[in-house]
């Protein structure tokens, strides 16, 4: 695993992959590499102009790439439902779902169109609903996988299920970190449920360490000097996006990957480096927490599965 890179990606011809947030950062590199290796890739993006620009760029590095741009706003359950409805009508089987999209907004508390705290609603609940709505179609494909994007910062918080929407003590950074803990717990609980159901789908989790993308600069627009300084230090530490994407590409494509595994960079503090297996925080890995979170997510989104 230590020297694994994009040259090791097995042929993806005949596979259909859906990548959320495929117009930018880690999602764009994921979509590019999957397409370069022969997959048909659906770029699930909230802004289709930006998605079409990304697709044009991918075609330059992967001539003949099979790409489709579709609109998906994870901050709206109506958009998630519309996306899933059209996709499942058009595709009999989906081999790979990469729940990659995510955002950090360090400003005042805001909500999705359904009233969920923006980070929890977009990063976790949107992907929870999407996964549930696509699950049957994913289950019909050969060697099906679902990958969820975690972050090392999930280890710096805990989630109180009585305050999933951070109404009691909001700050943007904490809310983002909580959403990443919930996403990690979701990915691990998903695999436990898939195994219990005898499903062929495996659920794998990955994190990119500290990677230079649009995530941090965008999050600090219109914010304080300290936040901009923090972002500058973050950017200086960050590894190139091609390197940061390897854990999720490994999770999505490498042979021998098992459901419930979690991959990240091997360097100090898991911030950068080669792909290795890493561990989730105690709460994210706790099956009792996973079950309770699942039931909360089902109630909030109205999407019930497994
Ligand atoms: N970069 C890091 O160091 C780092 C570390 C840990 C985890 N991650 C995770 O990696 C994933 C990818 O982030 P990135 O670093 O590549 O950042 P990025 O360059 O900002 O990309 C984030 C993507 O998510 C999309 N997105 C945001 N809100 C959305 C919504 N409501 N509906 C659909 N798509 C939405 C963005 O679309 P727009 O372009 O339209 O905004 C963009 O395509 C995220 O889950 C993030 O939490 C990143």
Contact 49, 26 (CB under 8 A): no
Give the global pTM. Answer: 0.96
Query: Which among 91, 176, 234, 250 is annotated as catalytic?
Result: 176
Distance from Cα 287 to the centre of ligand 1, integer Å: 27
DSSP 286: -
> How much is the average pLDDT of 82-87?
98
Which residue's alpha carbon is at the smallest distance from atom 8 of ligand 1?
Answer: 151
The pLDDT value given to residue 203:
98
Asked whether 101 lines ligand 1 (CB < 6 A), one says: yes
Which residue's alpha carbon is at the smallest distance from atom 37 of ligand 1?
Answer: 21
Distance from Cα 102 to the centre of ligand 1, integer Å: 4
The pLDDT value given to residue 182:
98
Per-residue pLDDT at 234 exceeds 80:
no
Closest CA to 133 of 102, 94, 100, 103: 94
pLDDT digits (tens, 9 = 90+) for 116-142: 999 999 999 999 999 999 999 999 999
Atom from ligand 1 closest to the CA of residue 215: 20
Gap between the Cα atoms of 212 and 39, Å rounded = 25
Distance from Cα 198 to the centre of ligand 1, integer Å: 32
Asked whether 179 lines ligand 1 (CB < 6 A), one says: no
Asked whether 264 lines ligand 1 (CB < 6 A), one says: no
Give catalytic status of residue 176 as yes or no.
yes
Split at pLDDT 50, 70, 90, the class of 105 is confident
Asked whether 29 lines ligand 1 (CB < 6 A), one says: no
Per-residue pLDDT at 216 exceeds 70:
no
Contact 105, 276 (CB under 8 A): no
pLDDT digits (tens, 9 = 90+) for 139-175: 999 999 999 999 999 999 999 999 999 999 898 989 9
**Beta carbons within 8 Å of 203's beta carbon, 6+ residues apart:** 145, 146, 147, 148, 187, 188, 190, 191, 194, 259, 260
Q: Is 130 helix (H, G, I), strand (E, B) or coil?
A: helix
Distance from Cα 123 to the centre of ligand 1, integer Å: 9
Asked whether 270 lines ligand 1 (CB < 6 A), one says: no
Exposure on the CB side of residue 168, measured as CA atoms within 13 A: 6
Instruction: Give, for ligand 1, the residue of 20, 22, 23, 26 to mutate: max count of ligand atoms closer than 8 Å to Cβ.
Output: 26
Split at pLDDT 50, 70, 90, the class of 214 is confident
- Per residue in 270-294, is it b (16+ CB within 10 Å) or e — as a string? bbbbbbbebebbebbbbeebbeebb
Gap between the Cα atoms of 290 and 60, Å rounded = 42
The pLDDT value given to residue 257:
98
> How much is the average pLDDT of 87-111?
94
Which residue's alpha carbon is at the smallest distance from atom 1 of ligand 1?
Answer: 211
Atom from ligand 1 closest to the CA of residue 103: 27
Split at pLDDT 50, 70, 90, the class of 1 is confident
How much is the mean pLDDT over the chain? 94
The pLDDT value given to residue 219:
54
Asked whether 72 lines ligand 1 (CB < 6 A), one says: yes
The pLDDT value given to residue 209:
95
Asked whether 145 lines ligand 1 (CB < 6 A), one says: no
Gap between the Cα atoms of 241 and 276, Å rounded = 17
> How much is the average pLDDT of 236-262?
95
> How much is the average pLDDT of 96-108?
92
Asked whether 24 lines ligand 1 (CB < 6 A), one says: yes
């Amino acid at each position: 695993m230590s020297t694994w890179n994009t040259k090791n990606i097995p042929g993806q011809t005949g596979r259909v992959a859906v990548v959320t947030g495929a117009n930018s950062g880690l999602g764009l590199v994921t979509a590019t590499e999957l397409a370069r290796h022969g997959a048909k890739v659906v770029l699930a993006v909230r802004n289709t102009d930006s998605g079409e620009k990304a697709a044009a760029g991918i075609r330059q590095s992967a001539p003949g790439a099979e790409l489709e741009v579709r609109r998906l706003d994870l901050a709206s359950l109506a958009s998630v439902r519309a996306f899933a409805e059209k996709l499942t009508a058009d595709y009999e089987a989906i081999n790979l779902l990469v729940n990659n999209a995510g955002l950090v907004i360090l400003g005042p508390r805001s909500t999705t169109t359904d009233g969920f705290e923006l980070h929890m609603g977009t990063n976790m609940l949107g992907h929870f609903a999407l996964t549930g709505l696509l699950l049957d179609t994913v289950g019909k494909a050969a060697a099906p996988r679902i990958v969820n994007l975690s972050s090392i910062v999930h280890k710096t918080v805990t989630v109180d299920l009585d305050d999933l929407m951070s109404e009691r003590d909001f700050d943007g950074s904490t809310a983002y970190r909580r959403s990443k803990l919930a996403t990690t717990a979701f990915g691990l609980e998903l695999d436990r449920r898939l195994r219990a159901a005898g499903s062929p789908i495996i659920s794998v989790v990955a994190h990119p360490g500290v990677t230079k993308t649009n995530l941090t600069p965008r999050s600090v627009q219109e914010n304080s000097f300290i936040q901009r300084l923090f972002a500058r230090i973050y950017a200086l530490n960050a590894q190139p996006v091609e390197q940061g994407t390897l854990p999720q590409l490994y999770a999505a494509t490498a042979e021998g990957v098992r459901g419930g595994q979690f991959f990240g960079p091997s360097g100090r503090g898991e911030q950068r480096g080669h792909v290795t297996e890493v561990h989730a925080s105690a709460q994210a890995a706790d099956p009792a927490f996973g079950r309770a979170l699942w039931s909360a997510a089902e109630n909030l989104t109205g999407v019930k599965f497994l």
